[in-house]
Structure 1
Amino acid sequence: MAWSITRTQVLVSIGLLFNVVAALMTNFYIDRVSQDAHKLVQQQTANDNLIRQTWLQIDALERKRELILSLLTSAAHNQQTIPSQVQTLLQNDLKYWLDMASLPPLDLENLPLLDDQIAKAQDQQRNRIDNWYLQNLDLMDDYTEQMGWISSLRNLALFLQIIGLALILARDLSRH
């Protein structure tokens, strides 16, 4: 017994094949690329949070600078020194923020050194912000590129589905 395949059967088979390929593209490849794009957005959000937190740290350092200036101005105006408990508390707090093993006493002579150290710490934080911002720009470019690729793949999958359905419908139209 010989197999006989009609033109209609070939068209229906090709139509089904196109629909299966479109479904596979959508379910496997497009979904994976979409997940990769989502990871880019998550990384960008994480970087945005780090940028916000780092700006808060820069602001906190500025408040500490203002507090030191205020305390030193007040102490100089009253011709007194900053109480030792306050100095110890501030020095312990500043050790956390500044890259110094030990801090000099809080007085007017050491103010330029402390100011430079605070400025240096703020500059380091700003550089970190700059790096995260530049990384976010790269992530946005990658995301835009991936979304364009996803759009093209979805359009191709839709095209394959439409052609596949048209070929399947050709069977019904050929009967009439």
Structure 2
Amino acid sequence: MTIPTWFVVAVGLLFNIAAALLTHLKVDHLSIEAGVIEQKRQENRLLIDQVWQQIETLERKKEWLVLYDVQAEKGPLDAHLIVVLEPWIKMDPRGSLSDMLAQLDGKQTVLRNSIDGRYFDNIQYGESYQRLMRDMSMYRNLALFLQIIGLALILARDLRRNE
């Protein structure tokens, strides 16, 4: 008993269709997911850079405050100091230097914790991205295998004609 040629060709076509569907549905879906994850990683990197700049700005404010305290006469805070520090800390005209420095340190700690959280998120995103790339590679290889088998079965029709 021989297998009909049309059946071999049909199976080959089915393998090629399965490969195309696998590529279209699964691999494209994984590519979109990988793109979303990579975009989140980039956004986190940008936010980390921005938060780090804020930490550096606060450090400059602390240095400026110490220099101001050394050079200024002891008395109520002047308007310029209040304007410079008001966006960062709650200003008390009767507040001491150590209170203001403690507020700036607290703000820096909050910002550093934010950076830590985003950094750990990026590590998790990286692991997810690698897993998606591994899965995508596996599905691409499977689709390629199905295409090759399908083409071999279709070409088998031509070999039968020659016999």
What TM-score, normalized to structure 1? Answer: 0.85
Residue 83 of structure 1, CA deviation:
6.9
Residue 28 of structure 1, CA deviation:
2.0
Residue 115 of structure 1, CA deviation:
0.9
Aligned length: 161
Residue 104 of structure 1, CA deviation:
2.0
Q: Which residue of 6, 15, 20 maps to 1:23?
A: 20
CA distance in 2, matches of 1:80, 1:145: 61
Residue 26 of structure 1, CA deviation:
1.0
* Counterpart secondary structure, 2:93: coil
2:59 matched residue in structure 1? 62
Deviating beyond 4 angstroms after TM superposition, the runs of 4 or more aligned structure 1 residues are 79-83
CA distance in 2, matches of 1:111, 1:83: 10
- For the 8 Å contact 1:15–1:163, the answer to whether it is kept is yes
Residue 84 of structure 1, CA deviation:
2.4
- 1:20-99 aligned at under 5 Å gives the runs 20-75=17-72, 79=73, 81=75, 84-90=78-84, 94-98=85-89
**Identity across matched positions, percent:** 40
Q: Gaps (5+ residues) in structure 1?
A: none
Is 1:14–2:14 an aligned residue pair? Answer: no
Q: Which residue of 72, 75, 93 maps to 1:105?
A: 93
2:112 matched residue in structure 1? 126
- RMSD value, Cα: 1.8
Corresponding letter in the other structure for 2:20: A
Corresponding letter in the other structure for 2:86: K
CA distance in 1, matches of 2:81, 2:86: 12
* Counterpart secondary structure, 2:92: coil
Corresponding letter in the other structure for 1:95: E
- For the 8 Å contact 2:19–2:144, the answer to whether it is kept is yes
Q: Gaps (5+ residues) in structure 2?
A: none
What TM-score, normalized to structure 2? Answer: 0.92
Residue 23 of structure 1, CA deviation:
0.7
- For the 8 Å contact 1:87–1:105, the answer to whether it is kept is no
Residue 8 of structure 1, CA deviation:
1.1
